[in-house]
Structure 1
Amino acid sequence: MSTQTTASVSTHILDTSVGRPAESVAVSLSARGGSREQWVVLGRSATDADGRCTDLPALPEGTTHVRLDFETEAYFHGHGHTQGPSRSQKRAEAQQDAPAPRDSGAFFPEVAITFAVSPGEHFHVPLLLNPFGYSVYRGS
């Protein structure tokens, strides 16, 4: 039986498009004490060379919900992942002999993961990330 009164959270990010950890992704941790409460930002961090945030703050007693916000846009730009032209833009370009405008933004400029926590438990939430999709799960 655990003697902890609060939950704890950790995370890491793997860029599945290259099979490596995602380094230097900004992450913020927010918490609230019930579904009707306001979010309170507890801290911000960035992933290290191993894709991990090792310095997320402890959760306050009474926390029931947690949100991890990953700022993925800067990461994607830094690694050459940008959203290219759509099919309709390519057709327009071919018909007009003029370059179609390219969207320089990431398809997922941010990822927000919200989950429920229980006192005394540790919650590890990995993010598997690629330019056009992501997946999360409760790890160990």
Structure 2
Amino acid sequence: MAGGYLTTHVLDTARGCPAAGLKIELFRLDGGGRELVRETVTNADGRTDGAILPEAEFAVGVYELVFHAGDYLDGFGGAGGPRFLDVVPIRFGMAEADHYHVPLLLSPFGYSTYRGS
């Protein structure tokens, strides 16, 4: 089996398009600690330009993707009071060297995720 890696994709379901320009942080969690692994921004297709955790850096464990949804949504007239959604954290485990794909389907008042392919 090839080594593991992690990808993501953000779709703006309210506008029906990829969420371009959305800041994402990836953290590795270990023994109560939280280490920033990578910070990136989605491209025009709502994806990162490469794997957010490439094969050369992959390790099994618990991770957290933090999507800065509020900043993205403010760009479309969402500002003007407390945001319903601001930062969207998704905590998940990777137990084997495989391709993990964690997409985010986003709107101003809700989101969903799943293990994609």
Q: Contact 1:10–1:54 at 8 Å: present in 2 too? A: no
TM-score (norm 2): 0.87
Looking at secondary structure, tell me which structure has more strand per residue: 2
Equivalent in the alignment of 1:108: 85
Unaligned runs of 5+ in 1: 83-101
Aligned residues: 115
One-letter amino acid matched to 2:48: C
| 2-structure distance, mates of 1:112, 1:23 | 18
| 1-structure distance, mates of 2:115, 2:39 | 21
Unaligned runs of 5+ in 2: none
* Amino-acid identity (%): 34
Candidates 41, 46, 61, aligned match of 1:64: 61
CA RMSD of aligned residues (A): 1.8
Query: Which of these two proteins has the greater Rg computed from alpha carbons?
Result: 1
State the Cα distance separating 1:31 from its structure 2 match: 1.1
SS class of match (2:9): strand
TM-score (norm 1): 0.74
Change (3 A) 1:75 1:120: same
Candidates 68, 88, 101, aligned match of 1:124: 101
